[in-house]
Structure 1
């Protein structure tokens, strides 16, 4: 009996060893296959490169050469625009005299634009401008270029190296409010059209130019009314190009070379008011909690419980997949295999505020008001929270999460205003607008890697959604470390060279948009 038991134990042990060996070998095989797949993607993943090798129709027949005298003139025009303080303080308070002065400037420095029989101009909402440029082929769907005239306030005492409306040139840079948001596009677009008309250009594909005057205060009088004019005329657009993202040079950690990020969507936005009302009282007899303490505790809960990670559920994953082949190791390894490393990468990204904006809906408490006297317990406290909504969430979902996070019926939640994130525009090899922008960029800046991305700020373009399915947010402003902080901050500036490049970008983009159709992709022959 003991012998049989011993034999049985030995047999069972052998079976267990065989099973463990089989499991181990299977795991080893799975890991080997996984390693091969991961390494294969690391060295072969190059998104959306097919049209770079395609045969494009040549429509850029007008030379982009700019003489020394023309350079001096275009810079003088740009500086004149910066010197006009077209500030939007609020929806009801704008510098309207500056907007009228800006109108006169445009008419003076762009005579061909305002006198050409090819261009129809109309003023919309008193201060915004709509230009219709006629094309020779009515079968081609027109496109639209957007920019805005107004700027945010600026005060020299905040620490500007040059007065914010001086357009002073220092070390090759023009300083002033609006140099990168967004007068470089206003003047760059019109300067390009001026040069094209001057040289006898007649567009095959018609296009529109919309210059809003109140984008910084939501665009309800400018862009909204321009869109209404176009909609009433039955206009449909091939694509729209507005401000938004830029060329990032040295800003994305671990990336070799600059990246041009084209916004194919923008985050939604909401402003939420939180308030608490309690009894008025004297500070000598304070209750356990007063309105300030209750509201402060609610805000603390919001800040300690950020919105869920949603990296990979919007266009932000495509951003890094398009850039993957330009990253250094080990980041290239991770970026090429986000299907595997997504959770890890999102945890790393959320540590930096600029990258956290790609990971989730962000929450920022921007105003807190309470109290009237040092010895009086305030009966009311209120705070305002600004949220930028990730494309994978809706405004209602965000409001529900805020309510459940605060979990205090004494805190009243009120939506001041808000809207969902915008639809994601196409960016594959059949996307006309995206590919035209990309082709223009690569012809001018072959060292740049182009990628779709999400715009974390908001633009006038959201008011034009009924006119097209494809809205892109980009201009070729080069941003290097320290430059993004200048937008709406102090010492906003634009290099002389970069402004000339912006003019040339629109000069080329307008001509390239004259092609009838995109060329067939050569992805299959050249991707690897």
Structure 2
């Protein structure tokens, strides 16, 4: 017995030694700081006021395309022309489907594939109540005026479409999502034109106008416009990741710039569950709502399996060196500890979304009466598909969860597969790393999986190198203001974003 214990102890010692050796020799990426101080922002009052003026125009997209008021979008086009005459005079500029805008700045070498920067003109409503400013002529789909914006402005420091400049910030709906990026791109191109130092390859800007409601009439048609012209882009840059301020990524004592190299797919299914209706005084043993509850419980208890995709492995390889000991040990020894690593990741809402196709029960409808049994109950479940999972697999997963019940399943909204994964060994990605180091030298830069849908997905038909990143450093409360109340961008962030895009445009071929 003693000999057996010694053998077991020896095996354990060897195992621990192997785990530690693998951890300390694992090729975690070293975070090398760039310029020790980084580029220092210099306030440009004119640039600030141009963005402020753009925020004042309520280019709200809501509901189905064609059901919202286009007058502000026409006003916005005219505002851009007046604000950036040099850009309009020195580029080829076109309108796609009336309200989408495309600019082309010609480079010196037409043999090189162009690069493309994206943004979108539209913004979401300023509050949960779909409230907009009547004075600016924004209407409901039924053309009835909405209540004045002041009804939701109580939660804002300034009116949602004020474009107020105060406290070192620019306030208003769209300040971050995404007029800040749109105007920074225009400012960067304007500066390049002024300098007369034109780039080698063509630079395109493309601004959709319905990203918040699916992008079908904006980005989809712009991408098709490029395809028909035979264009293929060496890189496409859009929104997606951000620079997360130190302390906002659990366990990492550094700023982290996450670059979306892919985005999740989308499937929302409406599931109608049938049963016996009638009066609640004589209920059946199992009602339609009870059956629906069983299905919903199945969907939540038996979710699609988690997995560490190559993209997320690369993410952990990049940030792992800055993580606590236990995390580094698990990442470096996935041959043995992967089940424990996945178990830990799936216990956190944020990291769970990185490693699996998520399941979210979002809507439910049954009887309208407290004493009435509905013969049919419907609910909606939303899946965000991990790259590697398919819509077909999700539908099979739903079929298994509804097995044994009389149901009808219907896709709603914009069902689509997860995007392709863009490589990180490209000039296009490495320039993002250099651009981040230019404005935030201490940040860790890592590829990442974008959870939400962006316009970038539509441009897969014209490029294989698509990256989702907005170069602003924000904390968790600022991130939560996007699509919520009190949205703002700091003037420092805005100045750095302008410099970042100017850096990208002028250094792509250096």
From the superposition, tell whether residues 126 and 189 of structure 1 become closer, same or farther in structure 2 (CA, over 3 Å).
same
In 2: Cα distance, 1:160 partner to 1:345 partner: 41
Q: Which sections of structure 2, spanning at least 5 residues, go unmatched?
A: 128-148
State the partner residue of 1:444. 439
The partner residue of 2:122 within 127, 139, 150 is 150
Does residue 46 of structure 2 align to residue 73 of structure 1? yes
CA contact (8 A) 1:295 1:411 kept: no
The partner residue of 2:57 within 59, 84, 93 is: 84
Query: Which secondary structure does the structure 2 equivalent of 1:89 belong to?
Result: coil
Task: Give the Cα–Cα distance (whole angstroms) in 1 for the partners of residues 54 and 493 of structure 2.
Answer: 16
Structure 1: gaps spanning 5 or more residues: 1-15, 54-63, 516-528
User: Which of 405, 413, 425 is residue 409 of structure 1 equivalent to?
Assistant: 405
Aligned pair 1:46/2:29, yes or no? yes
- 1:452-508, Cα deviation, whole Å (9 max, x unpaired): 111011111111111111100001121213232222122222111101111111111
Inter-CA distance 309–244: structure 2 relative to 1 (3 Å threshold) = same
Q: Distance in 1 between matches of 2:5 and 2:358?
A: 48
SS at match of 1:130: strand
Pick aligned residue for 1:231 from 201, 205, 227: 227
Question: Is 1:397–2:371 an aligned residue pair?
Answer: no
Matches within 5 A, 1:289-328: 289-310=286-307, 312-328=308-324
Conserved 8 A contact 1:86-1:98:
yes
Which of the pair has more CA radius of gyration?
Answer: 1
Alignment pair present for 1:427 and 2:424: yes
The 1-side partners of 2:19 and 2:493 are apart by 45
Distance verdict in 2 for CA 1:339–1:425, change over 3 Å: farther
Residue number in structure 2 paired with 1:109: 83
Is the contact made by 1:308 and 1:360 (CA closer than 8 Å) also made in structure 2?
yes
- Deviation of residue 126 (structure 1)? 1.4
Counterparts of 2:166 and 2:365 in 1: how far apart (Å)? 41
1:27-74 deviation per Cα after TM superposition (whole angstroms, max 9, x unaligned): 644543443222222xx522697x989xxxxxxxxxx99875xx1111
- Identify the residue that residue 56 of structure 1 maps to in structure 2: none
Structure 1 CA distance for aligned equivalents of residues 372 and 358 of structure 2:
35
The 3 A distance-change label for structure 1 pair 20 and 364 is closer
Deviation for aligned residue 1:209: 0.9
Aligned counterparts, 1:412-491, within 5 A:
412-416=408-412, 417-428=414-425, 431-491=426-486
Q: TM-score, normalised by structure 1?
A: 0.85
2:267 to 266, 270, 287: 270
CA contact (8 A) 1:149 1:186 kept: yes
Q: 1:65 to 1:138 in 2, by over 3 A?
A: farther
| Shift in alpha-carbon separation, 1:363–1:21, aligned structure 2, 3 A | closer
- Deviation of residue 372 (structure 1)? 3.5
- The 2-side partners of 1:207 and 1:347 are apart by 45
Q: Secondary structure at the match of 1:473?
A: strand
Contact 2:93 / 2:102 at 8 angstroms: preserved in 1? Answer: yes
SS of structure 1 residue aligned to 2:73: helix
User: How far is the alpha carbon of 1:22 from its aligned partner?
Assistant: 6.2
What's the CA shift for 1:513? 1.2
Alignment match, 1:172: 168
**Equivalent residue number for residue 163 of structure 1:** 159
Structure 2 partner of 1:523: none
Equivalent in 501, 504, 507 of residue 502 of structure 2: 507
Match of 1:365 among 348, 361, 366: 361
RMSD: 2.5
Decide which moves more: 478-487 or 455-464: 478-487
Residue in 2 that maps onto 1:131: 103
Quick check: 2:315–2:447 contact (8 Å CA) kept in 1? yes
* 2:187 is the alignment partner of 1:204: no
**1:134/1:206 contact within 8 Å kept:** yes
Instruction: Please give the secondary structure, in 1, of the residue aligned with 2:409.
Output: strand
Secondary structure of 2:111's aligned partner: coil
Assess, with a 3 A threshold, how the Cα gap between structure 1 residues 385 and 21 changes in structure 2: closer, same or farther.
closer
Residue 264 of structure 1 aligns to a residue whose secondary structure is strand
SS of the residue corresponding to residue 383 of structure 2 reads strand
- When residues 288 and 66 of structure 1 are mapped into structure 2, their CA distance, relative to the original with a 3 A threshold, is closer
CA distance in 2, matches of 1:369, 1:434: 46
**Counterpart of 1:37?**
22
